[in-house]
Structure 1
Amino acid sequence: MIILHHLNKSRSKRIIWLLEELQVEYKIVAYQRDKENFLAPEALKKIHPLGKSPVIEDNGQIIAESGAISEYLISRYGSGKLAPQKETNEYSEYLQWLHFAESSAILPLLMKMYLQKDGCETRYLATYVDSEINNVISYFNDSLKGKTYLINEQLSGADIMMSFIVEILEKNGTLASFEHIKRYADLLKTHHAFNKADLLEAQYE
């Protein structure tokens, strides 16, 4: 059985969604953030040295990093679902979006969050971060123009990975500024497994 080490209010909710879509047997081991500093508990370091989530255990392996976990699970359990066929142009595009979520897309959004928490004045960084967010999210928005999903007009692991970016935009109140992402966000919410992941995360809160 797959074990998902899940931290509340974290990127691992995407992995719950993915596991539900794959319809595999899995178990959630839940962890709670520290109420004062909002960091993950020390207990997660017993699973992986970085003490971060998501982490899965499967077939004697411990696998960290959302993109790697998604690639692994879809390749092993997807049976042709949630990814285009390998060695196609669509597969290359799929891989780019799968990893875009945790590279180009997330970095400026995290930097913005840290700057807001710190409350410091900056001479350069805040302006740069705002510009980079606009560049990255506008690219995402433009890429969805005329599309239903990111790849092949059907749900894939790329959409599941990018859902976390969509949720950040929704939470920070900027989603309405990007019409194609807004439409896409509404579409993702129509998936039963997406809503099941929401319910499960609330259950383990």
Structure 2
Amino acid sequence: MADSTSSSGAQPKGQPTLHHLSDSQSQRILWLLEELAIPYTLINYKRDEQKRSPPGLKTIHPLGRAPTFITADGRILTESMTIATYLLETYDVSKKFAYSDWIRDMTLTSFSGTSLLDLADTELLFDLAAKHTPWPLSYITRFIKKKYDSFFSAAEFKKNMEFLAKELGDEEWFNGKEPGRADFMLSWPMDFVGQRGYVDLKKDFPTLHAWRMRIIERPAWKSTLEKGNGYDLNSW
């Protein structure tokens, strides 16, 4: 299928569609769409009782995941970095959110989906095991989680936050004066860290806490909370 953008740089006709799941990483794509202020169709889905994606998403793409994004010309995209890159390349005509250093931007976006998200996902698995394992086995899972935190994850979270704090420096955004792809991509794992209390950002990393608060105060972010259908990462 041909690319949506033409050689002249014109935006594609019609409007794209975002299939959005509550309490999921598609929140950052919804945020980006609101920042770009383009017409789009939003289809909301709720997690089931096991906090999994509903079967309806599999009718759109075999992976059944969110975000699932359909371009104006019908191409189906499923990975957040791919979707974010497509949106910025296609619709950020004024280059408001463009990066000045592509290597740094790629490093931060890759870091968000590997080093940081992998760590947060593993921590979540230990949380869920400790929460849902029946007594008396729950005692064992809580003990294992406590040991894991003390000998590994606490130090890893600290190291990751120190890296991000250094990268952010005195800037408002990782991208500089305006948020960019790195900021959009980092918002999801950092919401995990902040909402679930894996790190006390306000106390230990105030610049990162201030960065998260800037996101929350943006009109585009507030709009996502009105248009979406839930974003509580403590509900799992």
TM-score between both structures, scaled by the size of structure 1: 0.88
Paired with 1:50 and 1:137, the residues of 2 have a C-alpha distance of 31
**Which amino acid letter does the alignment assign opposite residue 118 of structure 1?**
A
Q: Give the 3-state SS of the residue equivalent to 1:29 in structure 2.
A: strand
Between structure 1 and structure 2, the one with the greater Rg is: 2
Counterpart CA distance in 2 for 1:134 and 1:204 is: 25
Indicate the SS of the match to 1:48: coil
What does residue range 89-108 of structure 1 map to in structure 2 within 5 Å? Answer: 90-108=101-119
Q: 1:129 deviation in Å? A: 2.9
The answer to whether residue 97 in structure 2 is matched with residue 82 in structure 1 is: yes
Who is 1:45 aligned against? 58
Cα shift at 1:65: 0.9
Distance 2:231 2:104 in 1: 34
Cα deviation code 1:128-179 (max 9, x no counterpart)? 2333222212211222222221123322121122112232222123222211
1:27 to 28, 41, 48: 41
Aligned to 1:149: 173
Greater mean deviation of Cα atoms: 179-188 or 3-12: 179-188
Counterpart residue number, 1:73: 87
Contact 1:6 1:13 in 2 (8 A): yes
- Which residue in 1 is equivalent to 2:122? 111
> Which position in structure 1 is the counterpart of 2:201?
175
How far apart are residue 96 of structure 1 and its match?
A: 2.0
**Aligned-partner Cα distance in 1 for 2:230–2:188:** 19
Cα deviation 1:64-107 (Å, max 9, x = unaligned) = 111110001100111122122xxx5x122122222322111111
SS at match of 1:189: helix
Secondary structure of residue in 1 paired with 2:98: coil
Q: Which amino acid aligns with 1:147?
A: E
Sequence identity (%): 25
Aligned mates of 1:145, 1:92 — CA distance in 2: 17
Q: Identify unmatched segments of 5+ residues in structure 1.
A: none
Q: 1:194 to 1:68 in 2, by over 3 A?
A: same
Per the TM alignment, residue 41 of structure 1 is displaced from its structure 2 partner at its CA by 1.0
- RMSD in angstroms over aligned alpha carbons? 2.1
Unpaired runs of at least 5, structure 2: 1-14, 131-140
TM-score by length of 2: 0.77
